[in-house]
Chains A and B, each alone.
Chain A
Amino acid sequence: MNIGILVPVLGDRDAVGADAIEMAMALERLGHRVRLFAHSTLGNVGQVAKPGMLAEFCASPEDLAIYHFSIGWPDAVPLLRSLRCRRIVRYHNITPAHFFEGYSTEYVNACAFGRAEIAPFAELECELYLGDSPFNLEDFLAAGVARERTAVLPPFHRIDRLLHAHADLALLDRYQDGAATWLSVGRLAPNKGHLNLIDAFAAYRLAYDDPSARLLIVGRADPRLASYTAAIRGLVAQRGLESSVHFLSDIDEGALKAAYLVADALVSLSEHEGFCVPLIEAMALGTPIVGYTGGAVAWTTGDAGVIWNETDPYLYAATLARLREDPSLRHLLRERGFRRMRDAFSTETLTRTLGEVIGRFA
């Protein structure tokens, strides 16, 4: 069977690109003939065909086209509608527009446009709607897709590369001094909850009298969200945390690995996540997870972290304080993280699940 994987913009460094490329490789390992199609590409993504070639490659009704849906793209629905083959919508979620209100009109419009495509995709009655998480499928279930046409497949990832990377020694030396270290990983976007995170960190320093504590915010600042970045820095200044909050942007795998290794916990107060790859990175590297149950965070974390239903900053402050003084709790979370990573998100597990999903079309 020919399987065409279609992505509007295919990048080699983002989570959607990693999922598409690794999924293609897994399908080839399963014995299928696979080709990637993209409107445009970023970085080194190998051989990619133009979307116009998809109908020719997937000409048989037995073939399969998998569309990775994470942004609005007006060509997608007409293209899928024109195909004779079977179709899968691989949904990575689109952040609701209201998160960007007051920060970026461009993002508000783009997100609104992207989410407006959910209904037309649902009306296409594709053979399968494949979500990164159960949370992602809720959008299509709400749009009228039958549950039996849905399945969950966590995203493919490149955590093996992170595990085998050499941790950045300079960063290790800089931060491995025993001071309390909070870690946040994710681009600087309003749905990621950085403001609540900073309040939680401020509450920790205040309530537990720990002026040496630091917060590492790993993630790229988007120029189109400059007002959000300004809001973060403004709050940092208001809380008097300028010397304690460290922004690490565009770091390589070695530095990212070092950040996970020195952190007491990965702290996520994100209010909307379709899956949240940093959670499984933390599991793989033995970093305890403390998070707010925003979107799919609770499902992805499973029993491998401390997840709260409230954004109360003192809950997160108290959790980090407890983790600092309770080695058995740290050990428990690490062990559970390693186990969940192995059982639910390892490449072998994902390939097996993908094989079962594709097996429906055999």
Chain B
Amino acid sequence: MNPESSEDQLDRATSEIRADAAAARVRAPLPERKIVASVRRAENDTGHVTIAELARHAGPTFVDQAFRAILKRGPDPAGLERQMAALASGANKIELLGDLRYSAEGRRAGTPIPGLAPRYFVAKLGRVPLLGALVRWIVALASLPHILRHQRATEASLAVQFGELRAALQAAEQRDAEQREGLAALSIAADALSERSARLEEHARALDATVSDLRGLVLAMNHWTVEVRRSIDAIDAAEAERRAGEDEAAAARIARRRDLDTERRERIAARAAAFAGALPDRARVLDLCGGADWLAALVERGCRVTSIETNSALHRRARERKLDVTFGDPLALLERTSDASLDALTLDAARIGASVPTVLGEAQRILKRGGILLIDLGEGAPPDAAALSAFAARVPLDAGALVFVLP
């Protein structure tokens, strides 16, 4: 088959558009224009209207236009109903126009309608008993040529309308056939869609099974994770218990040694007195593992002391004595302490152990100028001279403690 030329395409489109327009006209008739006529009339307002202008309308439009032209207002509901009833009972338009024009309101409006008066008179004469019948016959006979012309015009108009209706009917039939074809195509498409839907359902079921398996796996993994976490917690608890036991043992050893040292209490009191005497009032002091007794002695002498303890048992006992002691890593505490913020630093060399050189390095940073460093030697060895090179003087406070001053 030859492809349609562009000329043929446009011809076909215009034919179809014309048929569509005819159907649209029947489907959705446009109300008659009103406002434009009145605007144009206002421009040329000669005041009069003609019978032909008014009579070309029909039904409610005729009544509306007659009211507006003659009485200069729209019809009230009662007036519209009355005039429509009169038209329905066979009254002619001349009679209705005359009734409006020669009513009291119409006479006041005074709209000129050329030729209305004699025709209205004849129409009214037709209402007179007996004489009216004769008048109607005479009028009918006189109007016969006009009626015949009107009838022929009506026939022609009806033929045109019949043609348009036939065209509209053919267009409707064509659309009906097209719609049937469309429905058949839709049915085929629906079948295809249904088949596709079934395949999709099958895929969905398979996907559902996979999801179910995955959910089982996730639950199993979750169960396993919980078990692992419990095991780790148990290990952590055992480790903490072991450390606590070690701390208890170490604390017991320290306590036994101190119990054996009968001069310890006096020595600490004397050391604290001498040490505090070298410090300003309310001096800020940091103590590293010096023990609850040393801490309490400094507090008694007006020092503001913060202490850190690495043994949980000793820490608990110091806290029981309402002393300001934290549990943790001394080096971490030193790192968090600001530069030149302390008047003194005290430490137990035996307890700090291998970390002493690092502590001394930090001490240079956190002590104020003229700040004091006290090292309790206890059973430990004095630190290397190199680690203490930044400090100006070494002052033996007593047999067990050395004091250094930051220049």
The residues of A with any CB-CB pair to B shorter than 8 Å are 101-103, 195, 199, 202-203, 206-208, 227, 230-231, 234-235, 237-238, 303, 306, 312-315, 317-319, 321-322, 326, 328-329, 332, 336
Give complex CA distance A329, B33 in Å.
32
Residue in A closest to B43 when the chains form the complex, CB atoms = A102
The residues of B with any CB-CB pair to A shorter than 8 Å are 6, 9-10, 13-14, 16-18, 20-22, 24-25, 27-28, 30-31, 33-36, 38-40, 42-44
A234 touches B39 (CB 8 A): yes
Give complex CA distance A237, B39 in Å.
13
B40 touches A102 (CB 8 A): yes
Give complex CA distance A202, B18 in Å.
17
Give complex CA distance A325, B42 in Å.
42
Contacts of B6 in A (CB 8 A): 332, 336
A103 touches B43 (CB 8 A): yes
Q: How many A-B residue pairs have CB under 8 A?
A: 81
Contacts of A227 in B (CB 8 A): 39-40, 42-43
Helix, strand, loop or mixed for chain B's interface? Answer: helix
B44 touches A318 (CB 8 A): no
A318 touches B33 (CB 8 A): no
Residue in B closest to A305 when the chains form the complex, CB atoms = B10
B25 touches A322 (CB 8 A): no
Give complex CA distance A318, B22 in Å.
9
Contacts of A207 in B (CB 8 A): 24-25, 27-28
Q: Which 9 A-B pairs have the closest CB atoms?
A: A207-B24, A234-B35, A318-B21, A314-B21, A207-B28, A318-B20, A206-B28, A231-B39, A314-B25
Residue in A closest to B14 when the chains form the complex, CB atoms = A306
Residue in B closest to A290 when the chains form the complex, CB atoms = B17
B9 touches A329 (CB 8 A): yes
A238 touches B35 (CB 8 A): yes
Give complex CA distance A234, B42 in Å.
13
A231 touches B35 (CB 8 A): yes
Give complex CA distance A230, B34 in Å.
13
Residue from B9, B30, B34, B42 within 8 A of A203 (CB atoms): B30
The interface centre, meaning the residue of B24, B27, B38 with most chain A CB atoms within 10 A of its CB, is B24
B33 touches A235 (CB 8 A): yes
Contacts of B16 in A (CB 8 A): 322
Give complex CA distance A231, B37 in Å.
9
Give complex CA distance A172, B114 in Å.
56
Contacts of A318 in B (CB 8 A): 17-18, 20-21, 24
Give complex CA distance A101, B40 in Å.
9
A315 touches B9 (CB 8 A): no
Residue from B9, B13, B24, B39 within 8 A of A314 (CB atoms): B24
Contacts of B18 in A (CB 8 A): 315, 318
Q: Say yes or no: A312-B21 contact (C-beta < 8 A), given A203-B30, A207-B27.
A: yes
Residue in A closest to B16 when the chains form the complex, CB atoms = A322
Contacts of A319 in B (CB 8 A): 17, 21
Residue from B13, B17, B30, B43 within 8 A of A313 (CB atoms): B30
Residue in B closest to A103 when the chains form the complex, CB atoms = B43
Contacts of A238 in B (CB 8 A): 31, 33-35
The interface centre, meaning the residue of B17, B28, B36 with most chain A CB atoms within 10 A of its CB, is B17
B20 touches A332 (CB 8 A): no
Other than the given A312-B21, A332-B6, 11 more pairs (CB < 8 A) read: A102-B43, A207-B25, A227-B42, A234-B38, A235-B33, A237-B35, A306-B14, A314-B22, A317-B24, A322-B17, A322-B20
Give complex CA distance A103, B21 in Å.
31
A234 to chain B, nearest CB (A): 4
Contacts of A306 in B (CB 8 A): 10, 13-14, 17
A sample of 10 cross-chain residue pairs with beta-carbon separation below 8 angstroms, ordered by A number, consists of A199-B30, A203-B28, A203-B30, A235-B35, A238-B33, A317-B21, A319-B17, A322-B13, A322-B20, A329-B13
